[in-house]
A and B are shown apart, each in its own frame.
Chain A
């Protein structure tokens, strides 16, 4: 009798671990499944591709994580990203094509200005939300329209092209090039080796990884190890209690929305490095909604107080692996939308079934 009780507790313990980290286990499950069904899925190159292509989604989800933990929402990040990408593109284009400035200088100036500008939408929505009690949904939806309109105006409805080649060289390059039996080199093919030999080399760790890892580490540290992060959770858990315990909630919320907007700005910079052009965000992209989806799949609650950067990254990767795996297995890409929808519902249902776990 005693042993059966212990067994059932033990069993429920494993169940609890699985249920709590279901997104992670789901990810593992899909990795195994697609390794069997999709040819070429299980390769270093493909995994690197998956992460390389989800860099922007991961940044978006990280931005949304901070906001959602405070029980808010930021619908503007998708278009703030577009705005940042287009602004940087336009400035680089003007400086570089004037002929007076080097590519490096123009890129540096373009990025800096775009990043500073990307703070503004966040400051405005933050003030609206914190000071004037505009619901986050409305304030950021307003910003959604405004940033989208400005980005389209700057780019005149076309992507900003004619930018220096060094952008994509950095954005799509790898940290390490290695030739079996031959030498290896960092950040590019060894000198004197032409691009036609690139297939002989094993390319490891895309540059975007490296930058992403740095950004993610900072955000993770900020959320988990600092007072700022603690206060963020406190506000989401119980705003009144947070106010009473002396947290300057208004100021904190403004910083949170500014941070979210800034991360979206960084995503815009990644975007310009990866594509080599300044892109405005198309309507159907719905970056912000997919980011919310990833964060919720990762285990956060829209009611606030829960969630983490790594969990959100798992959420993004789950969607990305599903998409990539379906594609490689020869399934129509449109199932992506359906799959994300079903995953989301599953996430909430699991949350409902094990309410005490989280």
Chain B
């Protein structure tokens, strides 16, 4: 009875506490709407998502590893490796005389296959050789960094087909008065006529993929097993889950998602860069932890991770519009990260698979 009363009394506070990340995002949005001129516009919101794709994808990659109780330090540099490999492959295919469309498709597909490799090695080391995830993925960070620097030192990838730029910086939908909607390509209009650009292509691609992985985590046996392993490893083994195989798959999946982030980077910036994801260690893990996952495993969802990523992306864009140097971003993200864990400890009853 006493307990029940206590529960209802603190019910509201608890609810707010559980949703603090969402609340924080709203506060952020309101703050920047007043403080940053021109923040509240369709364009700025699209920019937030456009630059946020890397954090969303790397965060989702990290989430899978973290739910199993592991960590993947290599996602940032696997992303860098993917930018270089895809750029080089596309250039190489174009040189053989293939059309731009075909060479981009082939280059990306091949990169995605290659991108499974670092994850496979990570998974093997972690599951078969019992290497702690921190060490195994740090080794992979070093190896993918080294390999990408070697690839780029030979010759930087230049002269990607124009089509890559069109895809990477294009929009899904264009609207202009008089002509109406047109998909994918900018309508031919006179100079003065305003064309409204809606939904950047890379954002659409990223979110379709993220939705697929959210589905995998929430609605499939694979996802269930992932939570089970993180929740209680022994119980998972006893219930007949093939632990080693599952761990390998999870790390392959993480590295696959990082590769997608890399490919999208190549399309956006039309080049490859070894340290494309170097500063993402903080961002990707912060997104996951702000999203309520625990480093001890068993907790966390994709959408909350995206929420965490959004908090970081809004912060970055908002500060930039206000003209504050991005240095402050690191400080604020660091503080939010620690706060996230502290808040979680004050409201411990959260369950994420509701």
Binding site for B on A (CB under 8 A): 73, 128, 132-135, 137-139, 141-146, 148-150, 152-153, 156-157, 283-284, 289, 292-293, 296, 302-303, 332, 334-342, 344-345, 348-349, 352
Contact = CB atoms under 8 A, between A and B. Distances in A.
Interface of B: 71, 73, 125, 129-132, 134-136, 138-143, 145-147, 149-150, 153, 275, 278-279, 281-282, 285-286, 289, 295-296, 325, 327-335, 337-338, 341-342, 345
Given A283-B278, A302-B135, A335-B146, A137 B130 contact: no
Contact of A149 (B140, B145, B275, B327): B327
Nearest to A348: B131
Given A336-B146, A341-B143, A138 B153 contact: no
A150 B125 CA distance: 37
B193 to A, nearest CB: 41
B143 A149 contact: no
Most interface-central of B150, B279, B327 (chain A CB within 10 A): B327
28 contacts: A128-B342, A132-B341, A135-B295, A137-B295, A138-B337, A141-B285, A142-B335, A144-B282, A145-B282, A145-B286, A146-B331, A146-B334, A148-B330, A149-B327, A149-B328, A157-B325, A157-B327, A283-B275, A289-B73, A293-B135, A296-B135, A335-B146, A337-B141, A338-B143, A341-B141, A348-B129, A348-B131, A348-B132
A80 to B, nearest CB: 12
B330 A152 contact: yes
A156 B324 CA distance: 12
A337 B129 contact: no
Nearest to A155: B327
Nearest to A143: B334
A135 B296 contact: yes
User: Which 9 A-B pairs have CB atoms at the shortest separation, nearest pair first?
Assistant: A145-B334, A149-B331, A341-B142, A149-B330, A337-B146, A341-B139, A338-B146, A334-B149, A146-B334
B71 A137 contact: yes
Given A141-B285, A153-B328, A334-B153, A289 B335 contact: no
Contact of A142 (B139, B279, B329, B338): B338
A138 B136 contact: no
Contacts of A284: 275, 278
Given A141-B337, A144-B334, A152-B330, 12 more contacts: A133-B345, A135-B296, A137-B71, A146-B334, A149-B327, A149-B329, A292-B134, A332-B150, A341-B146, A345-B139, A348-B125, A349-B129
Given A296-B135, A337-B145, A345-B131, A134 B282 contact: no
Given A132-B345, A152-B330, A334-B149, A344 B138 contact: yes
